Amino acid sequence: MSWLKRLFGRSEAEVETEPPPEPPVASEPEDSEPLGVPDDPALQLEALGDDPQPTLDEPRVLELIDRVRASGREARAIDLARRILANHTDARAVSQRVAEILASRGDDHGAADLVAPFVDAPDAPLDLCMLAAEIAERRGDERRALALYERVVARDLDYPRARARVRRLREGERHARDLGATLMTDGALTRGRYRVERELGRGGAGTVFLADDLSLGRKVALKVYHRRGRSERERLLVEARTPANLEHPGVVRIFDLDESLAAIAMERVLGGSVRREMEKGKLTVERIRVWFHTAADALAHVHERGFVHRDFKPSNMLLRSDDRVVLTDFGVACAAGWVPAKGAAMAEGTLAYMAPEHRAGAPAHPSMDVHAVGVALKEVLEHASTEPPAFMRECASACVRRDPAQRPNAAWVAEQLEGR
């Protein structure tokens, strides 16, 4: 017996005639991405824009947009999404998502252009109709806004905020002449205490004027509500009384409330808003840090006193001459724990800054404001002239955690953004 036979149980002849083994085939690990696909979601979006496919996987594009935004590159996400939409003009879901982002950044014109091709379709989603209505209302086209809100109500009577806004705009039509009569031809208000000089700004709820307080000889910001229905009266009282119970340099001071005139006289803050500063161009990281440090400090005081602002955003961050923030527009503020009635006007806020539980109608909680701070901080950092330090981005990411219990409180945010 040969040595091969003894060792392997095969003869030399059998070994020589055996076919050579096939080379091993490398197997790809499970769940691995195909070769050539980058890990960076921005590069994946860029590839979709440069090499468009006949059909677009919209859920995948939406996921990539959210991932790019979550990494602090919102402007980049918008630019890449627009490149994709240039080749897929029928991509309704992507157009809506980009429009929501643009609207949250104050670009209502760009947002309106994106939703226009879809909003009049019979099967337009209700949230798309609401978005288009809100944009139209902010742009002053109340007739268009009312028509869109009425479409939403016709399809879903209990759709959040829709009925309240229909009622508000209908009452606005009835009271438009009353508002004009409020301002007399010589610029004085009906009671003679305030004399209007010029308009400072206009929003969905009211118009703010620079006015002289003739009784006390000082300049004030006078906010006159556009409408005077029951829901507007409730909002007026909340907007005036909440900050009146808060003594903090970061909370706007209320001087006077006139229910019959539907007006609030408040301190005049000279520096404009953070939103206006964003529109001017690039911002220094230091200015952004100061803004959000002082805003978070003011919110911490609001929360300590048992209130939730519920509409924190750059346009409600006014600036003093020393660049410190003053919180304004407490029209939807409430006590912590308060539960909004379904569809009630008092449940309103600004959708782009709302925490998931806020949108779902959960009881008011300070963590909702913290979420809005994180969204706003990420947005403003997109306008920074230099790369922001890691701690600012980390702070914003901590604020927008989906689980409210995992978010920090406002005092922690203020501490993190204190001068370093």
pLDDT given for residue 188 in this prediction:
44
Topology classification of domain 56-159: 1.25.40
Topology classification of domain 274-416: Transferase(Phosphotransferase); domain 1 (1.10.510)
Known catalytic membership, residue 79: no
Query: One of 258, 311, 329, 369 is an active-site residue; which one?
Result: 311
**CA torsion 237→250→271→198, rounded to 10°?**
20
pLDDT given for residue 341 in this prediction:
65
Domain ranges in the chain are 56-159, 175-266, 274-416
Residues 306-330 have pLDDT tens digits of 999 999 999 999 999 889 999 998 9
Burial of 36 (0-12, 13-18, 19+ CB in 10 A): exposed
Q: Out of 17-21, 46-50, 95-99, give the one with best mean pLDDT.
A: 95-99
Residues 283-300 have pLDDT tens digits of 999 999 999 999 999 999
pLDDT tops 90 at residue 378: yes
pLDDT tops 50 at residue 64: yes
- Other beta carbons less than 10 A from residue 117's beta carbon: 12
Q: Give the HSE-up count for residue 160: Cα atoms under 13 Å, Cβ half-sphere.
A: 16
pLDDT given for residue 376 in this prediction:
96
Report pTM. 0.57
Identical fold between 175-266 and 274-416: no
pLDDT tops 60 at residue 258: yes
* Alpha-carbon separation of residue 88 from 49, 55, 57, 348, 389 (angstroms): 10, 8, 11, 34, 37
Tokens 């978010």 sit at which residue? 407
pLDDT tops 50 at residue 184: no
- Name the band, by pLDDT with cuts 50, 70 and 90, for residue 54: confident
Tokens 């240039």 sit at which residue? 86
pLDDT tops 50 at residue 183: no
| Angle, CA 316 vertex, CA 234 and CA 412 arms, to 5° | 105
Q: Please, are residues 174 and 185 in contact by the beta-carbon 8 Å criterion?
A: no
Q: At what angle do helices 41-50 and 74-87 cross, to 10 degrees?
A: 20
pLDDT tops 60 at residue 21: no
pLDDT tops 80 at residue 99: yes
- Name the band, by pLDDT with cuts 50, 70 and 90, for residue 17: low
The better pLDDT of the pair 227, 276 is held by 276
pLDDT given for residue 120 in this prediction:
87
Residues 363-376 have pLDDT tens digits of 999 999 999 999 99
Domain 175-266 class, CATH top level: alpha beta
Q: How far apart, in whole angstroms, are the C-alpha atoms of residue 161 and residue 374?
A: 24
